[in-house]
Amino acid sequence: MDARKKGLPRDARFSAQQPHLGSLIPFFVTCAAYFLLWIPDDPPSWVGALVKCLPVLSLAGALRAHPGGDCSSLLQAALLFSAVGDVCLIWPHAFLYGVLAFGQAQLLYIWAFGFRLLQPGLLLPVLLFSLPFSCLLLSHLQPDMVLPLVAYGLALSVMLWRGLARGGRARWGALLFAISDSVLSWHTFIQPLAHGRLLVMATYYAAQFFIALSAFQGPRLKTN
Query: Which residue segment(s) compose the domain that 180 sits in?
Result: 15-216
Per-residue pLDDT of 9-50, as tens digits, reads 445 565 556 666 788 999 999 999 999 987 666 789 999 999
Per-residue pLDDT of 72-114, as tens digits, reads 999 999 999 999 999 999 999 999 999 999 999 999 999 999 9
Predicted pLDDT at 110: 98
Per-residue pLDDT of 178-204, as tens digits, reads 999 999 999 999 999 999 999 999 999
Q: What are the CB-based long-range contacts (under 8 Å, 24+) for 124-129? A: 126/157, 126/160, 126/161, 126/164, 127/157, 129/178
Number of domains forming the structure of the chain:
1
Residue 143 lies in a domain: yes
Residue 155 lies in a domain: yes
Residue 8 lies in a domain: no
Asked if residue 145 lies in contact with residue 157, where contact means CB atoms within 8 angstroms, the answer is no
Residue 9 lies in a domain: no
Span of 9-13, 124-128, 142-146, 214-218 with lowest mean pLDDT: 9-13
Residue 58 lies in a domain: yes
Residue 224 lies in a domain: no
